[in-house]
């Protein structure tokens, strides 16, 4: 599932250790959970653009929906890990989750959600 890992295995075989200093342990274990679950059942393609803020209505399974019901920070770390490891379905899922958190909100609410400082000048 992870293209990076696959390449490394192709390169050096399954017995070798693969160093992943870029990914924290906790996050990596979350990733492994995902991969284990979806090893034999590939996830459905999520409909884009999102139909609603309820991910289940957009094609996400119950398990996946529960899986991304986590703290924001963990969610963001998960996105980075999926990007680095090149796991497309996990990346899609996590980004969809964030998108669902943005969808329907106005500017102020988004700022509050993600703790973004308003750095526009009054003219902008």
List 86, 95, 99, 103, residue binding other proteins (CB under 8 A): 86
CB of 120 to other proteins, least distance (A): 17
Three-state secondary structure call for residue 46? coil
List 29, 54, 72, 107, residue binding other proteins (CB under 8 A): 72
Name which of 40 and 73 has its Cβ closer to other proteins.
73
Instruction: Give the chain's largest Cα–Cα span.
Output: 60
Q: State the Cα–Cα distance between residues 59 and 14, nearest whole angstrom.
A: 34
| DSSP class of 57 | G
| DSSP class of 69 | -
Q: Using CB under 8 A, list all residues that contact other proteins.
A: 3-4, 7-8, 11-12, 18-22, 69-73, 76, 80, 84, 86, 97, 101, 112-117
């Amino acid at each position: 599932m992870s293209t990076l890992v696959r390449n490394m295995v192709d390169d050096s075989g399954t017995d070798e250790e693969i160093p992943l200093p870029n990914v924290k342990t906790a996050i990596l274990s979350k990733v492994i959970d995902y991969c284990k679950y979806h090893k034999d059942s590939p996830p459905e393609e999520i409909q884009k653009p999102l139909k609603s803020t309820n991910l289940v209505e957009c094609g996400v399974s119950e398990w996946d929906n529960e899986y991304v019901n986590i703290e924001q920070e963990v969610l963001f770390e998960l996105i980075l890990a999926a990007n680095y490891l090149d796991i497309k379905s996990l990346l899609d899922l996590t980004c969809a989750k964030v998108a669902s958190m943005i969808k329907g909100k106005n500017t102020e609410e988004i700022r509050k959600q993600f703790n973004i400082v308003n750095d526009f000048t009054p003219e902008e």
